[in-house]
Amino acid sequence: MANESRPCPCGIGDRFDYEGCGQEVQVGHIKAYVCKPPAGTDKAVIVIHDIFGWQLPNTRYMADMLAANGYIAICPDFFAGREAWKPSDDWSKFDDWLKTRDARKISKEADAVLKYLKEQCGAKKLGVVGFCWGGVAVRHLMMTYPELKAGVSLYGLIKDSDDISNLLNPTFFIFAEKDEFIPLHQVTLLEQKLKKSCKVDFEVKIYPGQTHGFVHRRREDINPQDKPYIEEGRKDMINWLNKYI
């Protein structure tokens, strides 16, 4: 996501060479990637992609990791058929591109996904995680859908004017200390606002030395110095879901 003073969004990072264990399905008017755990479960997590879209292998890797931890994981196309951003695209056109993909205007897609999870997958306990663009979407959904019992927002862009005090259920916020798109003062302000008026459990955590996208866009095998933080971020995400779902 872009910072208000810097319109250029994040780079794609280490693109995983990853096929995925799940399958693509039609969910109402959109497509989605679904991965189910070996054993049956009524727990499901919606995985919301970043600007690079629902087909990015890195995001599918995260969905499969959640499935390996016992959740039905679904990564829908929240762009609803519109093209995802590509690293080769003209960055000067990013703002215009983003205007047609508002992370706070996804209720139609969310409704379709929730219906699918409940009716087709038998899901009764639901959560949501999102990365970058999806991190903003998580904040919106956690203030809108009471059936989402836990949310994890990973390095979603913050505006000073954002009001997220009306979270309906426990939400965990993951940020990177050296994120060039999300200044630490914005993270501090967010935490202050939550402490002042949020009525549910929340946690804001900053990971030392990390940059934007570290949990899902960094390969620990080629970033050994970051491996402990990448693994910690993923573990923290799963622990939060396990605690509240």
The one catalytic residue among 132, 140, 216, 226:
132
State residue 218's pLDDT score. 77
Is 179 annotated in the active site? yes
State residue 7's pLDDT score. 39
State residue 12's pLDDT score. 54
pLDDT digits 0-9 by tens, 174-211: 999 999 999 999 999 999 999 999 999 999 999 999 99
State residue 161's pLDDT score. 77
The one catalytic residue among 50, 77, 179, 226:
179
Lookup result for tokens 């004017």: 161
Is 132 annotated in the active site? yes
Q: Is the dihedral of CA 200, 155, 76, 232 positive or negative?
A: negative
The one catalytic residue among 75, 212, 216, 226:
212
CA–CA dist 72, 30 (Å, integer): 18
CA–CA dist 233, 56 (Å, integer): 19
Our CA dihedral for 55, 104, 160, 11, rounded to 10 degrees, sits at 10
Beta strands in 49-119 (DSSP E): 72-76
Beta strands in the chain (DSSP E): 23-27, 30-35, 43-48, 72-76, 125-131, 148-154, 171-176, 202-207
Give every residue of the chain whose pLDDT is below 70, as ranges: 1-18
Is 212 annotated in the active site? yes
Domains along the sequence of the chain with CATH = 23-244 (3.40.50.1820)
